[in-house]
Amino acid sequence: MRVLVIGSGAREHALVLGLSRDPGVTALACAPGNAGIAAVSELYGVEASDPAEVTALATKWNADLVVIGPEVPLVAGVADAVKAAGIPCFGPSGEAAQIEGSKAFAKDIMAAAGVPTAHSEIVDNPARLDAALQRFGPTYVVKDDGLAAGKGVVVTADLAAARAHAMTLLDGGHPVLLESFLEGPEVSLFCLVDERTVVPLLPAQDFKRVGDGDTGPNTGGMGAYSPLPWAADDLAASVVTKIIQPVVDEMANRGVPFSGLLYAGLAMTPTGPQVIEFNCRFGDPETQAVLALLRTPLGELLLSVANGTLAAQPPLDWADGSAVTVVIAAEGYPGRPRTGDVIAGSEAEGVLHAGTRRRDDGAVVSNGGRVLSVVGVGDDLEAARQDAYRRIENLHLAGSHHRTDIALRASRGEVAVPAS
């Protein structure tokens, strides 16, 4: 099987590595890829969000399967175009990708499916902002009502800060979404979905804030671990029953069936899991940890989703133990990152590339905000943490920063769902 992966982050590096371990995958290409992915895959330059360009490449390269990593091409309808050309594609239609692309669509589906989620209101007129903020009260949750790569959200008890963020969004012409605050540890549950059948992967947790102790601004994700030692054994099964299956069925019944990876971002509140958001693709950096533990051949699995034969697949096979991902970010991230710095040690095992490129002289240099994802594995979370942080000691990128506490509290048994 010849597999073409679309995207250029550490998530796509993890997908490409997973696919390369599948004996059924005979050739791999990635577009546009990065310096690390080039070691295991052919690379092609492509505008990932252009349906015609991606389809032309998939056709010319004779792909048997196209796997689309990021949300922007999915929302732009790249999967529709690839499928229309007769090539199996892992990833939802542009219409189904609205579960991530439009908060209003997602809230509407959830309401119809009876799925618990935060109460929300859209404010598109600055004159209505203060009254709306007053209705919600602290803790304020202020979001950009559109795709914002996790960075358009401010969660704060400070009314002035909430107001300032909302005004910045409104001044930029973006409607603001206010939400009630959901209390409790967050869980990322990734589910393979082929229109009706749902197969959950191991649950993971992401670290959204830039600084240790969950301080500083939100980012695209600074680290992750999987599985969750503090969660009930039936967490995935019960979230599928109460949340994922009703949403998947509601979408299918509306004629907008979902096929691909449905990512539920959940808050484990005292009254049970509630949805913070849905994404229409694998999460980054959780995928880097989750796929490190998957033993089932990945190509065959993703193809079964694309072909609608997921229900016939054997149960997933997972390695024992834990995996931890730590993101190495460039100076300035999540603001304006510095790029072009030489990276030393980035070709080591367990080092996945995101914002990297190879310079003409052969040096690997930084080329984005989140530069690398370092993945450690071990018998338990503490061992996986140690493995990841040991690998980081052999890396060098001037000015870079990373969190030192990924999975720390969970490894010490300090994470729990708050009591009601």
Q: How far is the CB of 214 from ligand AMP (least distance, A)?
A: 9
In the bound state with ligand AMP, the residue whose beta carbon lies nearer, of 182 and 293, is 182
Q: According to DSSP H, which parts of 85-171 are helical? A: 98-101, 103-113, 129-136, 159-171
Amino acid (1-letter code) at residue 379: D
In the bound state with ligand AMP, the residue whose beta carbon lies nearer, of 257 and 334, is 334
Structure tokens at 342: 């030489």
Closest CA to 304 of 67, 57, 31: 67
- Residues of this chain, 187-216, that bind ligand GLY according to CB under 6 A: 206
**By CB under 6 A, is residue 400 in contact with ligand GLY?**
no
Phi, psi of 144 (to 5 degrees): -80, 125
Which residue of 245, 279, 325, 400 would you call a contact of ligand GLY, by CB under 6 A? 279
Structure tokens at 294: 């998957």
**By CB under 6 A, is residue 286 in contact with ligand GLY?**
yes
Piece of the chain touching ligand AMP by CB under 6 A; list 57-65, 181-189, 250-258, 320-328: 181-189
Q: Which residues contact 345 (CB under 8 A, 6 or more apart)?
A: 351, 394, 395, 396
218 binds, among ligand AMP, ligand GLY, none (CB under 5 to 8 A by kind): ligand AMP
- Residues of this chain, 217-276, that bind ligand AMP according to CB under 6 A: 218, 265, 267, 276
Could you write out the DSSP letters of every residue in 231-257?
A: S-TTHHHHHIIIIIHHHHHHHHHTT--
Cα–chain center distance at 290 = 11
284 binds, among ligand AMP, ligand GLY, none (CB under 5 to 8 A by kind): ligand GLY
Piece of the chain touching ligand GLY by CB under 6 A; list 87-95, 154-162, 283-291, 362-370: 283-291
Q: What is the 3-state secondary structure (H, E, C) of 19-69?
A: HHCCCCCCEEEEEECCCCHHHCCEECCCCCCCHHHHHHHHHHCCCCEEEEC
**By CB under 6 A, is residue 280 in contact with ligand AMP?**
no
Helices 129-136/159-171 angle, 10° precision: 140
Residue nearest ligand GLY by beta-carbon distance: 283
Give the contact letters, 224-263, x = binds to ligand GLY (CB under 6 A), - = no: ----------------------------------------
Amino acid (1-letter code) at residue 244: I
In the bound state with ligand GLY, the residue whose beta carbon lies nearer, of 25 and 267, is 267
In the bound state with ligand GLY, the residue whose beta carbon lies nearer, of 236 and 303, is 236
Structure tokens at 226: 């999987």
Which residue of 54, 58, 106, 153 would you call a contact of ligand AMP, by CB under 6 A? 153
Q: Which residues bind ligand AMP (CB under 6 A)?
A: 118, 141, 143, 150, 153, 155, 179, 181-182, 186, 208, 218, 265, 267, 276-277
